[in-house]
Amino acid sequence: MYQYIIVSLTTLVLYTIINLAIKRGKRYFAKVIYTQSSIHQIVKNFIPNDFFDIPKRESQANKHVKNNTVRVLIIENQAYWVHDNKFYVADTIDGAVDSETVRPIDTNNMSKRDIEKMLFILDSLRNGNSDDSGSTGNKRF
């Protein structure tokens, strides 16, 4: 019983001291101001990553671009792409596809290692980022 009275009186005394210190304008306790950005930085570690992801809307322009563009993957001076359900390869010269060397890939006579390489390339072409730009920003003039 005495313990409750002591704790209550101690709490009351501390509350009074803090209240008087704040009212007199003495800054014994710094006032903490949180901005929306600082709260987000604190809270974001406790929320799943995909919670804030906003799905991209499929517009008519995006559909047109997706249907009328071809993704090209360049590995070791070879360009690979899929067009009309056929897998093509061509040599590259300074990063540009040499149109004279375009040929479809024949998987019938390939080794297992080469087929695995082609499957990796095909997966990379199919599952690449949809907002991946084709330019590094370095322009040639």
Tens of pLDDT, residue by residue over 85-130, are 888 889 988 878 888 899 988 878 888 888 888 888 888 877 765 5
Q: Can you give the pLDDT at residue 72?
A: 85
pLDDT at 1 over 70: yes
Q: What residues have CB less than 8 Å from 89, skipping those under 6 apart? A: 78, 79, 80, 102, 103, 104, 105
pLDDT at 141 over 60: no
The reported pTM is 0.48
Query: Using one digit for the tens of pLDDT, what is the confidence trace for 30-74?
Result: 667 788 888 888 887 887 777 667 777 888 988 888 788 888 888
CA–CA separation, 84 vs 119, rounded Å? Answer: 17
